Structures are given as C-alpha cells and as structure tokens.
C-alpha cells in the first residue's frame, strides 16, 4: 500500500506551471509558522494543501493571495504578472448590510449577467434580494463561492470552504464548486484538513506537517478517481492515511 502511494509522488505537476512557491520561512510573533516550503501549481490544476489544524495552511493562502507580504521567499507567476485571484475565506466574510446580489455587484460592478447566472446555478436566485445577514450558513457559503467565481478568476484560493457544514451540505457545496470549475477550468489552491475532501476535489495533494508547516509528501490523485467523490474519495483518503502512518497525525 505504501509503495502504491509513494509511486504516485512526482515532483512536478503534469500541466504547465502557473505558480512557483518558494518560502524559506514565515515568522509570526518570534515563531516560525511556515517553511521551508517549495511547490508548484499547474495551470488548470486543483492542488489540495492538507495538514493538521493550525499548521499554517491559511497563512500560506494569505501569502499567495497577496494579503501577507511579510515572509522570506518568492512567488513566481508564469507570465510575470499576478493573475486575477478569487478567494473563498474560511468564514464567508459577506457584507451583511448588502443583499445577495449586491454582495456580488460589489466585486464586479459591471458583471451583472455573470452574477445572475451564478446565483441561478448555486440556487441562490430566490434569495437574491435578501440581506446577507438573513442567509443560512449553507447559503452564505454558496454566496462566498459565487463571489470568488463571479470575478472570472484565473486562480481560486479556497480556505476550508466547507468547514462547519454538515456532510450533506458539504457534498452539495463541493458539487457546486466542481460545477463551477467545469464551466470554466482554472487553477485552485484548496486548503483543508480533510483528506476525503482533498481526494474528492484535487488533482494533487500536498501534505504538510504540523507547525511550522513543511511538506511531507505530494500525491497525485489517479485520473480515474479524480473528482469522482463518494466512496472512491473515501477509499483514496484511507489509502493515503495508511500509507502515511505516523507521518500525518491529528484530525486529517
């Protein structure tokens, strides 16, 4: 079993590289929280970053998203310019005083039609004029996903986008994400501590150690299992878990 998992551990993604991340170290309050860390993201690839809670995964996303410039390392974008990035934060971070539609219009002042289409697809159209403060947790998460996709990003950063959802709702939300991805394939960094979720969504899985986060291993999800979801993802997650043994403790 371990040999199988290790066999799916190439150093480079199959698709052309969109982003190279090289972080020597990231310190916070006199403490190393990240690095050394070296990985690439392919164009159109979904790379899941999996690690124990609090290991620095969200910090890594903030660095890639340009929200935290205080680190020692480099981000190299393939065509030399920062692409359009849509972010789904761990908490939805909606503006409660704006309606569902207005939350989308805020990030795309001229993109009304694209926003309406997304609202239909994510089953938010009936509540389009409701204030975001009145949405259920599931609706708020779907709206946060719609907001990241409405700007037509080249890269999506997903920070535990399905956390705190019950399993049924999480499956629905994952499906929503995959549907959006199928409409317009793009690169994505998915931060999660859930191996099943990673196996259900990603092309590759980058496993990180506890804080300071360092790579343990990179795994390629077999093409026949990729985005298959359901029991196939669960089997793969179990296979990875067994292969890693003591290397990946905690709640993943």
Partner 1 sequence: MGRINWLRLLSPLLLLVLWETTARLLDSRMLPPASAVFRALGREILAGTLPRDLAITLGRVAAAFALSMLLGSALGLAMGRWRAVDQFFESWLTILLNVPAVVLIVLLYIWFGLNEPAAIAAVALNKLPATAVTIREGRRAIDRDLSEMAESFHMTRWRTLRHVVLPQLSPYLFAAARNGLSLIWKIVLVVELLGRSSGVGFRIQVYFQLFDVTSLLAYTLAFILVMQGFEWSVMQPLERRANRWRP
| Residues between 149 and 208 with contacts to partner 1, criterion CB under 8 A | 151
Whose Cβ is closer to partner 1: residue 83's or residue 210's?
83
Whose Cβ is closer to partner 1: residue 148's or residue 196's?
148
Site track for partner 1 across 106-125, x = CB under 8 A: xx------------------
Q: Does 64 bind partner 1 (CB under 8 A)?
A: no
CA separation (Å) from 191 to 37, 114, 129, 142, 147? 15, 26, 31, 17, 18
221 token code pair? 């999800």
Q: Does 133 bind partner 1 (CB under 8 A)?
A: yes
Of 154, 197, 203, nearest in space to 39 by CA: 203
Whose Cβ is closer to partner 1: residue 10's or residue 66's?
66
Q: Does 12 bind partner 1 (CB under 8 A)?
A: no
CB of 212 to partner 1, least distance (A): 23
- Which of the ranges 73-81, 114-122, 129-137, 185-193 carries the binding residues for partner 1, by CB under 8 A? 129-137
Alpha carbons 28 and 32: distance in angstroms, whole number: 6
Whose Cβ is closer to partner 1: residue 151's or residue 200's?
151
Among 10, 16, 66, 112, binds partner 1 (CB under 8 A): 66
Q: 3-state DSSP call for residue 145? A: helix
Q: How many residues bind partner 1 (CB under 8 A)?
A: 21
DSSP 8-state symbol, 126: G
| Residues between 77 and 106 with contacts to partner 1, criterion CB under 8 A | 85-87, 89, 91, 93, 95-98, 106
CB of 217 to partner 1, least distance (A): 30
Whose Cβ is closer to partner 1: residue 186's or residue 195's?
186
250 token code pair? 């905690």
CA separation (Å) from 220 to 11, 116, 185, 212, 216? 10, 35, 18, 24, 14
Of 195, 168, 216, 197, nearest in space to 36 by CA: 216
CB of 97 to partner 1, least distance (A): 4
Alpha carbons 34 and 44: distance in angstroms, whole number: 26
144 token code pair? 């946060």
Question: Residue 248 burial by CB count (10 A; 0-12/13-18/19+): exposed, middle or buried?
Answer: buried
Among 131, 171, 215, 232, binds partner 1 (CB under 8 A): 131
The contact set with partner 1 (CB under 8 A) reads: 65-67, 85-87, 89, 91, 93, 95-98, 106-107, 131-134, 147, 151
């Amino acid at each position: 079993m371990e040999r199988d998992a290790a066999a799916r551990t190439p150093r480079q993604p199959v698709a052309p590289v969109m982003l190279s991340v090289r972080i020597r170290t990231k310190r916070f309050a006199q403490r190393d929280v990240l690095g050394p860390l070296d990985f690439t993201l392919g164009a159109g690839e979904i790379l899941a970053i999996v690690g124990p809670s609090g290991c620095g995964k969200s910090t890594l996303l903030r660095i890639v998203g340009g929200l935290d410039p205080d680190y020692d390392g480099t981000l190299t974008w393939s065509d030399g310019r920062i692409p359009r990035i849509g972010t789904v934060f761990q908490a939805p971070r909606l503006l409660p005083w704006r309606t569902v539609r207005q939350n989308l219009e805020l990030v795309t002042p001229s993109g009304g039609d694209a926003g309406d289409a997304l609202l239909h697809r994510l089953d938010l159209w009936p509540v389009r004029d409701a204030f975001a403060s009145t949405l259920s947790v599931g609706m708020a998460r779907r709206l946060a996903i719609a907001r990241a996709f409405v700007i037509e990003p080249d890269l999506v950063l997903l920070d535990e986008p399905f956390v705190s959802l019950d399993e049924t709702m999480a499956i629905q939300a994952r499906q929503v994400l995959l549907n959006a991805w199928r409409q317009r394939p793009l690169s994505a960094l998915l931060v999660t501590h859930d191996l099943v979720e990673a196996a259900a969504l990603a092309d590759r899985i980058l496993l990180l150690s506890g804080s300071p986060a360092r790579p343990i291993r990179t795994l390629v999800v077999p093409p026949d299992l990729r985005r298959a979801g359901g029991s196939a993802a669960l089997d793969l997650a179990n296979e990875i878990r067994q292969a890693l043994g003591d290397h990946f403790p905690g709640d993943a």
